[in-house]
Amino acid sequence: MSLLAFGAACGFSWAVMSDLQPKLLYVLSGALVAGLIWMLVDAWRGYRVRSWLRHGDLAIAPQMSGWWGVLLDRARKLLRDRERSIDAGEQRLKDFLSAIQSSPNGVVMLDALAQIEWCNQTAATHLGIHPERDVMQRVGNLLRDPVFTAYMAVEQPIEPVVIPGHRHRIERPVHISVQRHRYGEGKQLLLTRDVTMLEQAEAMRRDFVANVSHEIRTPLTVLSGFVETIQTLSLTEEEQKHYLSLMATQAHRMQVLVEDLLTLSRLEGSPVPSVLQSLPIAGLMDACEQEARGLSASLAQGNVAHHIHFVIEPSLRDCLLLGEARELQSALSNLVSNAVRYTPAGGDVHVSVDHGIDGSLLIEVRDSGAGIAAEHLPRLTERFYRVDRSRSRESGGTGLGLAIVKHVMQRHGGTLSITSELGQGSCFKLIFPSKRWRQAA
């Protein structure tokens, strides 16, 4: 409006100075020219605002006054608020994806066509898919397991399904649990979890219960049969003694089994042995030697006894093992008794104590028995695992001895090493770290 007034005043002044008639015409002409100039200027300012709004860059926002300046200020404020909101949303999304990425569980997001939209590294490792290369690939084309295919065909699955993992091998199984959830408009979410340890624990629990039931049922069946025989038949005194002797053997077998089970339970539930307790190595070797010779004599039954040798490296004769004496005695006793039981009469059983290369202490039990095939060695310390079940039962073993030895060594920070070859005998080594033994004061 000020520009129009200025134009009219200019037209009037020009008419007065020029003494032109009529003056009103010149006033209107001046106002019209000023109005045209004002419109051109306003259009140019509007063009600048529109050009800036098209890019939306706050760094190049024009500076104006008047109504266009008010509009620009409002637009700049809205853009700044929008940018802050977008930055905050992007940061939240990054934090969310980072949290999912570090999750121990796998996450796979599928669209309505079951195509992979996104997955974290854990899911990629579980299922063998690539987080970038396999985006927008149908998950059914990448995972061709029949169990998984049938699971994806179910409209509303309730329970998860367990499938072999990407690195599954027969000798080293990997089990992955997959749970499917629907969300959004036809989209799906796959949650994966490594349940290998749970599956192995469940399998071990089933095997343990089955083995315990079998081991106890066998002597119970024998005892029941002998009791029924004594109750129903008229037996001579000699026959009764024979049956009672067999019953005592089976009862002793059950007692040994229960004691081994209680020992395992105590080992698993008690704290790590203190280094303040100690056991003289010489006393341990003497006790095990007497036990080995007594067992060899009872098994010989008129045949040639075993050749048993116990040797301690002279500098270690006065050393002490630091730990629970009863557990250490049980571990070495198990190895020595196994060596005697599974070595034929007249065979050699050699037990020695020596230094390790790294300052450890080695107790080695070597025999000249039949030896053990290589495929059995990794499973020897499993509960109730036997290379030859019939021979083990004849020798009076429960299948828990090496499991007890392994637990004792783990509790004392040591390891059990087993080497064997068919026809060449076996060698069992108890390896104690340097912090678990010392020289006597």
Q: Indicate whether 285 pLDDT > 90.
A: yes
* Residue the block writes with tokens 């072999």: 164
pLDDT at position 4, please? Answer: 47
pLDDT at position 283, please? Answer: 93
pLDDT at position 367, please? Answer: 93
Q: Indicate whether 110 pLDDT > 90.
A: yes
DSSP E strands, 79-166: 106-110, 116-119, 161-164
pLDDT tens sequence across 239-262: 888 888 888 888 888 888 888 888
pLDDT at position 328, please? Answer: 92
Cβ-contact 366, 350 below 8 angstroms: yes
Write out the H or E segment, with its range, that includes residue 355. Answer: strand 348-355
Q: Report CA 131 to chain centroid distance, whole Å.
A: 21
Ranking 61-70, 215-224, 300-309, 370-379 by mean pLDDT, the lowest is 61-70
Give Cβ neighbours of residue 227 (< 8 Å, ≥ 6 apart): 247
Structure-token pair, residue 409: 């060594």
Q: Indicate whether 290 pLDDT > 90.
A: yes
Q: Is 56 left (phi over 0), alpha (psi -120 to 50) or beta?
A: left
Predicted TM-score (pTM) of the model is 0.57
Cβ-contact 365, 351 below 8 angstroms: yes
Q: What is the pLDDT averaged over residues 50-69?
A: 69
Q: 231 or 328, which is more confident? A: 328
Q: What is the pLDDT averaged over residues 137-161?
A: 90
Check residue 366 and report its DSSP letter.
E
If you write DSSP's letter for every residue of 66-99 in order, what string do you get?
HHHHHHHHHHHHHHHHHHHHHHHHHHHHHHHHHH
Q: What is the pLDDT averaged over residues 380-385?
A: 81
Q: State whether residue 279 is helix, strand or coil.
A: strand
Q: 286 or 83, which is more confident? A: 286
Q: CA-based angle 146:148:153, to the nearest 5?
A: 95
Binning pLDDT at 50, 70 and 90, where does residue 77 land?
confident
Q: Indicate whether 47 pLDDT > 80.
A: no
Q: Indicate whether 18 pLDDT > 60.
A: no
Cβ-contact 360, 434 below 8 angstroms: yes
Please state the φ and ψ torsions of residue 173, each to the nearest 5 degrees: -70, 150
Q: What is the pLDDT averaged over residues 109-136?
A: 91
Q: Indicate whether 167 pLDDT > 60.
A: yes
Cβ-contact 422, 372 below 8 angstroms: yes
Q: Nearest Cα to 348, choosing from 424, 290, 429?
A: 424
Mean pLDDT, rounded, of the chain:
82
Ranking 47-56, 118-127, 164-173, 177-186 by mean pLDDT, the lowest is 47-56
Write out the H or E segment, with its range, that includes residue 116. Answer: strand 116-119
Give Cβ neighbours of residue 335 (< 8 Å, ≥ 6 apart): 365, 401, 405, 428, 430
Ranking 267-276, 308-317, 364-373 by mean pLDDT, the lowest is 267-276
pLDDT at position 85, please? Answer: 86
Binning pLDDT at 50, 70 and 90, where does residue 32 land?
confident
Q: What is the pLDDT averaged over residues 49-62?
A: 68
- Quote the percentage of the chain above a pLDDT of 70: 86
Q: State whether residue 167 is helix, strand or coil.
A: coil
Rounded distance between C-alpha atoms, residue 144 and residue 375, angstroms:
32
Q: 167 or 207, which is more confident? A: 167
Q: Indicate whether 20 pLDDT > 50.
A: no
Q: Indicate whether 21 pLDDT > 70.
A: no
Structure-token pair, residue 208: 């343990």
Q: Indicate whether 389 pLDDT > 50.
A: yes
Q: What is the pLDDT averaged over residues 349-357?
A: 91
Give Cβ neighbours of residue 71 (< 8 Å, ≥ 6 apart): 49
Give Cβ neighbours of residue 47 (< 8 Å, ≥ 6 apart): none
Rounded distance between C-alpha atoms, residue 293 and residue 3, angstroms:
125
How many other CB atoms sit within 10 Å of the CB of residue 269? 7
Check residue 377 and report its DSSP letter.
G
